Amino acid sequence: MLEILSPEEMSRADRLTAEMGPTDTYELMCNAGAAVVSEILPRFADATGFDILCGPGNNGGDGYVIARLLQERGLDVTVWREAEPRPGTDAARAAAEWPVLPGTLADFEPQAGRVVVDALFGAGLSKPVEGAYAEALEKAAAAPVPVVAVDLPSGVSGESGTVMGATLPANLTVTFFRKKPGHLLYPGRRLCGETVVADIGINPKVLEIIGPRCRENAPALWQAILPQPAVDAHKYRRGHVGVFSGGPSSTGAARLAARAAARIGAGAVTLLSPAAALAVNAMHLTSIMLRRVEEPDELAAFQRDRAATAYVLGPAFGVNEKARIFATMVLLEEEVEPAHLVLDADGITAFAGEPERLFASAAGSRGTLVLTPHLGEFARLFPDLAADEQLSKLGRARAAAARSGAVLLIKGPDTVVAAPDGRAIINVNGTPYLATAGSGDVLAGMIAGLLAQGMPAFEAAAAAVYLHSEAGRAFGPGLIAEDLPEALPAVLRRHVGWEEGETAEE
């Protein structure tokens, strides 16, 4: 169940199921209410009662079903609402089957020992929550009562995870069929509490018709194509990564990326260093090779001699014309096999004033460009997309990938990876331990290491993001960036299942 549906796609799934039959939309509503009740009862067996906050639409209809089913079990239930459902709707039918006159939201007062069920507005919310609805949510948020959200906490956008007006953090959120972006993108993810996806009878064949293009990141998406060394492999056949180093006082970031590329499986990694930094880099390198690359002709010579299949440019490199020249040379090299470029940090910022130069190079490249910005760097390269408040993080990533022709990764606790063709993943296993200097440099090296071994760029980025987070989780408190590459071998064995093979030739 890795597919993520937008609110519009979820509505379409409901309609398609009803068209296919024999299940109709009211039966789906009844199933949804029953699914919520089945999650509530074992968790809140000691509750003295239940307050069901019902909105005017289908989310409120789910709430009336929940109220009726709880009351049929002999439990104390009160329904609160501001307005009746529109006549002739499924919600109106559900409300008609609730035998007690509902109270008004203005009179709602949460009480200790009772459970609040938030069935005001679901994932399809299109405007801010205000007025009596906002006041009811604020009362519940201020009270020491557990909250169960139906579909999504009211006030959270199903499309973006942002808060629209007031909201009510939930202890438990029960959604239906598939998650929505708002369950996974912050701050929505934090506000959902525990999220349960319930089967309510939606025909799974609707996914073939809808063709969702966004998924929750997980090994099932890329594990089968993770590179594994052949028994007759030599180091260059396992992939060669070139990592550009900054000056003598800015070399550590490149070494982090280089070590990560090696730990993820690249057979050879070369640090490409300016002359002034050769000595300091040499003092810290063992298995990583070192080569002077300070001028374009030196890079051209390296490309001819060693033919690296992936490069990392940006970590502490400096924001300068040289970054722009080197990036263009990697992308547009025609004399050797195509090379991929992971552009990170300073490499991204270097193109802030002329992004079209980068995008044109990507369009003319036989390799793939991967961009790995955090939100600040993203705004430097795509200022209009960053400023567009109508776009979610997912929407921004997709739009930027389409514009740039690159696989684009926006980092954060809810990292999003998007491809130019519209495919996207949202990563869910992030950890705050990764919020440490150099963590992003390691991620860039991991992506390049997988690219060098022949993994497609979108899948390489998704796999690297997931494994990077797993390495952070495995190490835990006290993590610094240097620990991440060293944690990778155990993570790969545990989560990916790489098998030990015969010793390959050097």
Specify the pTM: 0.94
The pLDDT score that the predictor gives to residue 257 is 98
Tokens coding 355: 């992004």
User: Considering the chain, what is the average pLDDT of its residues?
Assistant: 95
DSSP string over 286-344: SSSEEEE--SHHHHHHHHHHH--SEEEE-TT--SSHHHHHHHHHHHH--SSS--EEEE-
β pairing state of 114-119 and 147-150:
parallel
C-alpha dihedral, 179 to 171 to 72 to 13, nearest 10°: -10
Alpha helices in 367-482 (DSSP H): 375-381, 383-387, 393-404, 439-452, 457-475
In this predicted structure, what is the pLDDT of residue 233?
Answer: 60
pLDDT, residue 61, reads: 98
Tokens (6 digits) for 169? 């953090």
Residue-wise pLDDT for 65-119, tens only, equals 999 999 999 999 999 999 999 999 999 999 999 999 999 999 999 999 999 999 9
Q: Which residue has the higher pLDDT, 306 or 489?
A: 489
Contacts (Cβ under 8 Å, ≥6 apart) of 107 = 80
Q: What CA–CA distance (Å, rounded) separates 163 from 156?
A: 5
Q: What are phi and psi of 178, to 5 degrees?
A: -145, 155
CA atoms within 13 A on the CB side of 285: 28
The predicted-structure confidence for 339-382, as pLDDT tens digits, reads as follows 999 999 999 999 998 999 999 999 999 999 999 999 999 999 99
* Per-residue pLDDT band at 506 (split at 50, 70, 90): very low
The pLDDT tens digits for 432-461 are 999 999 999 999 999 999 999 999 999 999
What's at 482, amino acid-wise? E
Domains and CATH numbers, the chain: 3-212 (3.40.50.10260), 235-496 (3.40.1190.20)
